[in-house]
Each structure stands twice: as C-alpha cells, then as structure tokens.
Structure 1
C-alpha cells in the first residue's frame, strides 16, 4: 500500500529523462492531464492519468484541479549575510556603477565588514527568513554560498551557519565555499590564495562543510590564472567546482570552467556567441541570473543564444544584498522569459532538472517514479501561470520528500 495519493490534479508537467536537457530538448515537457501522483517513503511510486490508478493508499488528497510541477531548484544564492546595501542602492540610482562602489569600499567589502564578526548562530538566524521566502516561492532545493567571511575563521562560521540552517528547514540546502573577493596588492593576493589552498579548502573538505568550491573571476576580483590554482586545489580535495564569470568582462573564466569540467559557469552577461558554442559542446551548465540584470540594469545573459547553440541552461536567483535582492525562485523563472529570451517550457526545465545538474544532483528536478517527491501545487490549473504571473505567488503548496510544508 502506498503512503499517499495526490489526486484531482489538472495537469502534471515535468521535464523527463535522466540528465540535463540541452538546446531544443529544454522545450520538451511531459504533460499528463487529469493526473494523480502516488508517494511512498518520500519517493514517487506511481504517476499517470488518475483514471488509470488501480492501487491503494493510506491517504488520498484531492488537489482541486490544480496544476503540479516539480519543486524548483535554486542553484545560486548568497542567502547568508549581515547588514544591508541600501547605500549602494541609492548610489546606483544617482549614476554610480557597481565597480565604482566596490572601489570606494562599498559593495561586497561593506557586506564582509558587516558579516565577518557574526557568530554562526547569528548568521543562521538572519538567513532563515530568506530561505523560507525562497521555499514559499517554490524552491525545494537551494544552493547557499559562503564568501562574505573573507578570513578563514569567518568563512568557516558561514559554512557552519549553513549547516545549522540545514536542520531548520525542510528544503534541501547545498553548501558551496565561495572564494569571493581578493586583496588588491599582488603580494597580499598570493598570501590569501595560499591560505585558501593550504588551509581553508582542506579544512572545509575534511569537515564536509561544502560540496563544491566557487570562485569570482573578474577584473576586480580573481584572475583566471588564480582561479586555476584554487580550483585545482578544490578538485584535489575531492570537491566539485563552479565559477562566477563573464559578468562584467570577458576574462577567460568561462573557458577555464569548461576546460576543468566545472559543474556550472554562472552569470555570463557578457558571454559571446563563440563562448555560447563552447559551453554547448561541454558538460558544464550555463547558469543565468536575471535578477542581477534587473537590479543593476545590466544587459541580460544571452539565454536564447545559449539554448540555440545547444547549451544546458539553468536559472538562479543569485539572492544577495547587493546585486540581486530577489527572494523568489519562481520570479527568477519569469524574469528569464522576459529578459533572457527563454520560452516558458525552457524556463521550467532551467529551474528544475538543469538547475539540479548545476549542483551535481540527479534525484530531484523532475517528477518520475523513483524520484524524490518534491513538487509544487499551483494556484492555477495551468502550469504556465507560474512564470506568467508577476507580483503574486502562484505556489499554493510546497511538498518536500512527500511532506507538505507549512505555509
């Protein structure tokens, strides 16, 4: 006997088949009208037209002819921080650029100063409402980065805060060690890089505080040469790798990520057609972050060109205090349709199975027998309302591993 049957579903809509979807395959969804989903021990045990159900269940819940889609996966957030960046927001409204604010000691540096002295408990307390907001918007798996600690001790406290959060939310949290900003002087940069490689990464790996290492590659951050050294250390420690790159300038980070087999290269606002084609020929996921384009007024990443080239594209919120105060994964999906040129089916794929692949996960992101029963019940009978509707949360219920989450 199954534990639960979800019935009265207007349509179940999901990507299907193992692995990330590339190019035209991102538009291919399985749509089951008048459907039901059976769950046993947190896993989908049956899915199909309700009229074909012949099993038994301990409990049957009628969803009132609402649509069901997979739980969303947010593959890129900075949800742990202290302080705010309201002064930066005001400065940008008067014409200051992101780089100018950073050079003046604002931006990431300001958040580091606010965050670095906080305890893990204080950080977790500040971050929990942000995680809960993402979950209410439909995120059942959420990547969370460090990167505002800067010192070894503060970075460890950030990762410990993420571990605390893992025990306080039902959504799956995937921790990533982010090597974010770096000292300006070359000698100090080398010393910091050596600390990262010789102390921070080994300790994080030993304590299993992160599953991947990310690094910010830009003219005002790390060079691709620095990144190669850091990411090689991460791989030697058994950690996967990711990159923030091609956000403001083309600096070789995308090429490095593809060469080294990164899970994902993220941002890509200035990605060229040749770079789109390079990613498309690789196994690396291209993660686009439309909240940044909206908030900073940047040209959006070329999502349409990436998909047309054959790449596997994922979408994230990039939730952070400075460049993307976006607390809704569903809204990121809707923005990708409007700003990055994706279709609604492509955006759903990018926020589910492809976002899972950007985190190295295969057990979430689609609704099939044997998959985790992470699913969303929408307010609408038509799944497209999830990316169409702005300013209203179209997620009625969030289910994680077959358990309905509190509103």
Structure 2
C-alpha cells in the first residue's frame, strides 16, 4: 500500500532522464494524459495513466483535472542582499552602462557596502520573501550564492544566512560560494585571492556551508588565470565549480570552465558559435539568464545556437538587485522562449532536469519512479500555459518531497 496517490491529473509532463551528458536531451518530453502519481517516503513509487493503477493508498487526493510538471529548479540566484539598486536603474535609463556604473563605485560595490555589515539573521530575514516568491512561481529547488560580503567574515555570514533560510523555507536550497568582485590593484588582487584560497574556501568546506564555488570572469572582474587558481583550490577542497562568464567579453572563462569540468558556465550572452560547440562536446551545462538581457538591454544568450550545437541548456532567474530583479522561475522560462529562441518543451527541460544537473543534482527535475516527489500543479489543464502566461501566476499547488506546501 502506498502512502499517497494523486489522481485527477489532466497530464503529467516531464523530461526524460539524463542522457550522455549530465543534462537531458533538449525538449524530449514524456506526456501522460489522465495520470496518477503514487508517493512513498517523499519519493515517487509509481506514475502512469490512472486507469492502470492497481494498488491501494492510505490517502487519495484528486487534483481536479489540472496539469502537473516537475518542481522547477532555479540554478542561479543571488537572493541574499541588503539595500537596493534603484539609483543604478535610474542611471541606466539615462544611458549609463553596467560597467560604467560599476567603475563609479555603484553596482556590485554598492550592494557590498549595504550587505557586508548585516548579520546572518538580518540577511536571512531580508531574503526570505524573495525565496518564497520563487517558490510560489514553481521553484522547489533554488541555488543561492554569496558574493556580496566581500570580506572573509561577511562571506561566511552570507552562507550562514542561507543555512538559516533552509530552516525557514519549504523549498530545497543549494548554497554556492561566489568569488564575485575583486580589488583594483594587482597586488591587492593577489592578496585577496590568497585569502580566498587559503582561508575562505577551506573554512567553507570545513563547515559545509556551500556545495560549489563560483567565480565572476570578466575584464572588470577576475581573469581566467585568477579563476583557474581559485577553482583548483575549490576542487582540492572537494567542492564543485561554476563560472559567471562570457557576459560582456570573451576572456577565456568558458574554455576554462569546460577544461576544468565545471558543473555549469553561466550567462554566455557573448558566446560564439565555436564556443557553443565547445560546450556541446563537454559535460558542462550552459546556463542562460534571460532576466539580465531584459533588464540591462543586452543581446540575449544564444540559446538556440547552443541547443542546435548539442549543448545541454539550463535557465535561471539570476535574481539579484542590480541586473535581474526577476522573482519568478516560470517567468524566466517564458522569457527564454521569447528572447533566447527555445521551444516550450526545451524551456521546460532547461528549467527542470538540466537546471538540476547544473547544480550536480540527479534526484530532482523530472517525474519518474525513484525521484523526489517535487511537483507543480498548474491552474491550467495544459502545461504549455506555464511558459505562455506572463504577469499572472498560474501555479496552483507546490509539492516538495510529497508534501503539499502552504501557499
């Protein structure tokens, strides 16, 4: 006898399992009409057409003819911050660029000044409504980066805030240590990098405050050689690696990430056709962030070219105060269809199984026996309403590990 049987599902729609890459084949969906799902100990124990169910269940819940998709996975957020970037927003509206604002001490530097002195408790309190907004949009697994602390102590407090958030939120959080911005002078940069490698990363690993290390590689941030040193330290400490790269310039970050076996390379707005092929021949996930393109007015990452080359693509919100104040994983999916050239089935794959792969997770992101019972029940009977609808939340219910979550 199963613990729970969910019936009355108009259609269960899910990507297939992992292919030869860490991610799944783009856009190949399994659609089960008039379906049912059985759950035991938070894991899917049976799934298929309701008429084929032959078992019994302690509890049966009729979902009333609504469509069900896997819980969405947001593989890239900066959800912990203090202050705002409204002045930056106004400056951009008058023609200032992201890089000009950063060089003038705004942008990331402004958020660091606002965040660095906050306690872990204060940061968690500020971030909780953002995490809850992502969950209401369908996200059951959410990556959360540090990176606005800058100092050793403040970065640790940021990751401690993520740990506090996990105790207060219903979604599954995945913490990442982000080595975000760097000092201007060469000597100061080397000193900071040494602190990161000899103190910060070892302490984060020792306390299990993060599962991965990310680094921002651009002309106005870290170089590819800096990143190689930092990421090698992360791998030596037993942590996975990721990169922010190819957002504004091509400075070798993507190539480094592929060579070092990064879980993902993220942004990719200026990724070339040749680089698309390089990612496609690797096990690294290409994570695209359409909210940034919309908010900053940048050319969108070449999602269509990446997929056509054979790359496994994921989609994230990049929720942050400066370049992507996007509080909805479902909206990120819809924007990727409109801005990055993905089909609706490809976008669902990119927001579920491939986003999970970008976090090194194999037990979420698809609906099949043995997977975590993370489900999104839609207001609609047709799953395509999820990427189609903008400006209205069509998520009816969220289930995490077989438990219905409060609205």
TM-score, normalising length: structure 1 = 0.99
Residues 167 and 19 of structure 1: is their aligned pair in 2 closer, same or farther, counting only changes over 3 Å? farther
User: Alpha-carbon deviations, 1:251-280, whole Å to 9, x = none?
Assistant: 100000000000000000000000000000
1:181 and 2:181 are equivalent in the alignment: yes
8 Å contact 1:68–1:378 — kept in the other structure?
A: yes
Residues 19 and 141 of structure 1: is their aligned pair in 2 closer, same or farther, counting only changes over 3 Å? farther
Partner Cα separation in structure 2 for residue 171 and residue 242 of structure 1 = 22
8 Å contact 1:20–1:312 — kept in the other structure?
A: no
Partner Cα separation in structure 2 for residue 23 and residue 363 of structure 1 = 12
Partner Cα separation in structure 2 for residue 157 and residue 24 of structure 1 = 35
8 Å contact 2:22–2:284 — kept in the other structure?
A: no
Partner Cα separation in structure 2 for residue 20 and residue 366 of structure 1 = 16
Residues 91 and 313 of structure 1: is their aligned pair in 2 closer, same or farther, counting only changes over 3 Å? same
8 Å contact 2:23–2:354 — kept in the other structure?
A: no
SS of 1:24's equivalent in the other structure is coil
Q: Shift of the alpha carbon at 1:405?
A: 0.6
CA RMSD, 1 decimal: 1.1
User: Alpha-carbon deviations, 1:288-345, whole Å to 9, x = none?
Assistant: 0000000000000000000000000000000000000000000000000000000000
User: Alpha-carbon deviations, 1:10-58, whole Å to 9, x = none?
Assistant: 0000011235779993121000000000111100011000011111111
Partner Cα separation in structure 2 for residue 376 and residue 385 of structure 1 = 13
Residues 21 and 383 of structure 1: is their aligned pair in 2 closer, same or farther, counting only changes over 3 Å? farther
SS of 2:366's equivalent in the other structure is coil
Partner Cα separation in structure 1 for residue 203 and residue 24 of structure 2 = 42
Q: Shift of the alpha carbon at 1:170?
A: 1.5
The match for 2:42 is: 42
SS of 2:182's equivalent in the other structure is coil
Q: Shift of the alpha carbon at 1:4?
A: 0.8
Structure 2 gaps of 5+ residues are none
8 Å contact 2:21–2:282 — kept in the other structure?
A: no
The match for 1:80 is: 80
8 Å contact 1:43–1:401 — kept in the other structure?
A: yes
Partner Cα separation in structure 1 for residue 20 and residue 221 of structure 2 = 30
SS of 1:167's equivalent in the other structure is helix
Q: Shift of the alpha carbon at 1:234?
A: 0.4
8 Å contact 1:22–1:311 — kept in the other structure?
A: no
Q: Shift of the alpha carbon at 1:7?
A: 0.4
User: Alpha-carbon deviations, 1:143-198, whole Å to 9, x = none?
Assistant: 00000000000000000000001111121100000000000000000000000000
8 Å contact 1:21–1:354 — kept in the other structure?
A: no
Partner Cα separation in structure 2 for residue 17 and residue 224 of structure 1 = 33
Residues 195 and 24 of structure 1: is their aligned pair in 2 closer, same or farther, counting only changes over 3 Å? closer
Partner Cα separation in structure 2 for residue 161 and residue 284 of structure 1 = 28
Q: Shift of the alpha carbon at 1:62?
A: 0.8
8 Å contact 1:23–1:308 — kept in the other structure?
A: no
Partner Cα separation in structure 2 for residue 158 and residue 24 of structure 1 = 32
8 Å contact 2:16–2:24 — kept in the other structure?
A: no
Partner Cα separation in structure 2 for residue 80 and residue 53 of structure 1 = 44
Q: Shift of the alpha carbon at 1:388?
A: 0.2
SS of 2:331's equivalent in the other structure is helix
User: Alpha-carbon deviations, 1:49-88, whole Å to 9, x = none?
Assistant: 0011111111111111100000000000000000000000
SS of 2:89's equivalent in the other structure is helix
Partner Cα separation in structure 1 for residue 20 and residue 82 of structure 2 = 35
Residues 22 and 156 of structure 1: is their aligned pair in 2 closer, same or farther, counting only changes over 3 Å? closer
TM-score, normalising length: structure 2 = 0.99
Partner Cα separation in structure 2 for residue 104 and residue 114 of structure 1 = 16
8 Å contact 2:19–2:25 — kept in the other structure?
A: no
Partner Cα separation in structure 1 for residue 227 and residue 150 of structure 2 = 16
8 Å contact 1:288–1:316 — kept in the other structure?
A: yes
8 Å contact 1:23–1:310 — kept in the other structure?
A: no
Residues 244 and 22 of structure 1: is their aligned pair in 2 closer, same or farther, counting only changes over 3 Å? same
Partner Cα separation in structure 2 for residue 10 and residue 226 of structure 1 = 51
Residues 21 and 48 of structure 1: is their aligned pair in 2 closer, same or farther, counting only changes over 3 Å? farther
8 Å contact 1:2–1:38 — kept in the other structure?
A: yes
Partner Cα separation in structure 2 for residue 194 and residue 108 of structure 1 = 21
The match for 2:205 is: 205
User: Alpha-carbon deviations, 1:209-231, whole Å to 9, x = none?
Assistant: 00000000000000001000000
